[in-house]
Structure formats: structure tokens, C-alpha cells
Chain A
Amino acid sequence: GQNIDQPTEMTATEGAIVQINCTYQTSGFNGLFWYQQHAGEAPTFLSYNVLDGLEEKGRFSSFLSRSKGYSYLLLKELQMKDSASYLCAAMDSNYQLIWGAGTKLIIKP
């Protein structure tokens, strides 16, 4: 079956770096998305990877290894506003998104 695994919760300190991992199993693969969702709000798009390697976008970077079915989201210089859930989603061969349950990131001062 199709499955996305990511940690349920992580805690980090303001100003630090945190890496949120995601492993996926899908029928075919057409890319990996990361979304940010603040409590009580809609998910917002962060990144899209379809080729192996690291994509950097400001304080956020996303990495993909297709052979390992693995991705991570790297957040640098953490700010309190980064406290949110981070959703990993893989697109299967039918271009449908398979969503993980999200990783709740708690930032402490």
C-alpha cells in the first residue's frame, strides 16, 4: 500500500537548526511536497522536489533521495513563528498526493 511516515512531534530551540524526516512508499512517484500548517489554518506550500538533491529556499531547504524513498525538510535559524505542523506528501503515478499526518514542531525560546 501507499504510506508516508514522519515523526509526530519534534522540539527545537529558537535560533537552532532542525531536520524533519519523511519516508514514503507510493505506487510510482512524481514528486515530494512539503507544506506548513499553523494551528487552525490551512496548509501552505513550502517546497517541491522531484529530482535527487537539495533545494534551498531561504531558511528552508528540502532534500530528496528517490532510491531511498526519503526526504527531509531542514529549517535553519529557527524563529518562534516556525512553530507549526509540517506535512510531507508524495505524488503517486496517478498524480495524486498521499499525505503524512504531519510533524508538529515546537520551538522553545
Chain B
Amino acid sequence: DTAVSQTPKYLVTQMGNDKSIKCEQNLGHDTMYWYKQDSKKFLKIMFSYNNKELIINETVPNRFSPKSPDKAHLNLHINSLELGDSAVYFCASSRGGTELSGNTIYFGEGSWLTVV
């Protein structure tokens, strides 16, 4: 069973559309994340949720809205898509908290978003 799964894996859509990427983890982790990996390969955190509560919200356009219905799910909704939103979006999870040994982050397979 995949530990962190996200769908869709590939998404091609037109500018101005609204789309969602779903993420689920079956690791029993408390913390989930959305990362964006751009063409320069930097992984940039967008959001982090701990037990369904938002704890990190980096400087991300408000067109991006995360939703966590429960601690095993963190979905990403994007409104009014722009060309610059084209990237790979990774969902991830970790045990969270301040326990150093528990902070390994496990990534989903990525969602390749192309805005045309």
C-alpha cells in the first residue's frame, strides 16, 4: 500500500480554470504538507497542517487553498490557474511535533501540473 498517495499524477489544464489535487496518507502521521518543486528543482513548502490545523502558510497566492477534512487527508485547491503555477506539487507527511527522530518526511509521488 502506498504510504502517501496523491491524485491526479498528471494534470494539463487551461489558464483560468480551477483544479484540485487530493492527498491521503495511511501512516498515522499528524502532520501533512504541500510542497511545490519548480523548474529549478527547489522544494518550497506551501502549507503545513498538524491534526487538521494550519500551522504553516508561506507566501502563497490566496488562489491556493488547502483543506484538511481529517488528519489523513490534505487537499489542495487552486483557483484561476496561471501559467506560473505549472510545477510539480508534492504532498508529504511526518509524525510532526518536536521529536527530532520523528521528523522524517515521506513524500507522495507528485502531481505534475501544466497550465497552458
How many residue pairs bridge A and B at CB < 8 Å? 44
B98-116 vs A, Cβ < 8 Å mask (1 yes, 0 no) = 1011011111111000000
Interface string of A51-79 (1 = CB under 8 A from B): 00000000000000000000000000000
Q: Is the interface of A mostly helix, strand, loop or mixed?
A: loop
Total number of B residues with any Cβ neighbor in A under 8 Å? 19
Given the complex, which residues of B lie within 8 Å of A43, measured CB to CB? 43, 90, 107
Residues of A within 8 A of B44 (CB): 99
Give CA–CA (A42, B98) in the complex, Å. 24
Report A's interface with B, CB cutoff 8 A: 30-31, 33, 40-45, 48, 50, 85, 87, 89, 91, 95-97, 99-102
- Measured CB to CB, the closest approach of chain B to A56, in angstroms, equals 17
Once bound together, how far apart are the Cα atoms of A18 and B104, in whole Å? Answer: 24
